[in-house]
Structure 1
Amino acid sequence: MDARERLIESTRELLWERGYVGTSPKAIQARSGAGQGSMYHHFDGKPGLARAAIGRSAGEMRERADTAFAGPGPVSARVAAYLRRERDVLRGCPVGRLTQDPDVMADPELRAPVEETFAWLTGRLAALLEEGRAQGEFDAGLDAEATATALVAVLQGGYVLARAAGTAEPFGRAVDGALGLLSARTAAKESR
């Protein structure tokens, strides 16, 4: 990995662990093993490096979601695969945690990839749910947009509950609950 990549990866980790204010240029340099000259050669300082790191985290989140969404099986199985994929639950979502950082939220350039990623995720889930409804997997009354928003909220809230409890169990229960609610909207249950 070259110095630029080490700087981005180190910043991603530090933002996830410490937030924007706690991610100092010295900490980035120490973790990456890159010098100050290298940092300022590749980036316009901490804000530029943070933009690159947040963009990378957002892109990785989208890739992982798309992998699950493109998998085999019915829509419900693909949504379940996404919700149940392996995560470092107690560390929280690397993108979602940034919403709690006032410095990130106050800067339109730092906030943009966070906002865009959640809009993309909600839209992608809504399109999947709509696909399932069109194929008869879900009942006609399913509101794809509202359900997609609820699923994203369950994940992000699950992270918060797990971190507060110091265990991943609340996250797993939240996912199980969301999937239970979704399964109640299957077309097969409508005819019972």
Structure 2
Amino acid sequence: MKESTRATVLQALKCQDKKEKAYKDREITELILAHPSYQTAQAIATYLPMEYEFNSYGLIDAAQADGKTVLIPKVTGPGQMVFLPYVSDQVVESYFGVLEPVGGQVVDKSRIDLIHVPGVAFNAKGYRIGHGGGYYDRYLANYMGATISTIYDFQRKEFKEEVHDIPVQEVICK
């Protein structure tokens, strides 16, 4: 079930109209910036997007302009990741095809106020289907801060969550 949902939604993501996607990305960014969890956060973890994902660069630029610390993930082993400070000229493409930081000090999850969690599909309860590695579910298992995800309307799907899945607290959808 999850595999077919993942494949269907990934195909839809890759076929989006670029102008419509850019418009939705701007709308979603404005909704995040107005969100109370963003407003009160000092340290925000997000991700550097693949071409078809929500373009988080607007969020990153705004957060840095607002004086917030922006963190991005780095895979450290099978199913394991950490967050490090984002410096635009200190990233490299990883084995998975995403940009990761090449240096910096790992930030303990207790110091992260808000995590912007990526995903391929989300159900009505905030459970997600990611790319299949389980990195975020493992990381969020004992995370106590705020979580938020951003999706396009066609990414909202119904599926049964599994015992190891961790829901996000809020999903912003356009």
Q: Greater relative contact order: 1 or 2 (C-alpha under 8 angstroms, separation 6 or more)?
A: 2
Per residue, is there more strand in 1 or in 2?
A: 2
**TM-score (normalised: structure 1):** 0.27
**TM-score (normalised: structure 2):** 0.29
Per residue, is there more helix in 1 or in 2?
A: 1
Q: Which has the larger radius of gyration?
A: 1
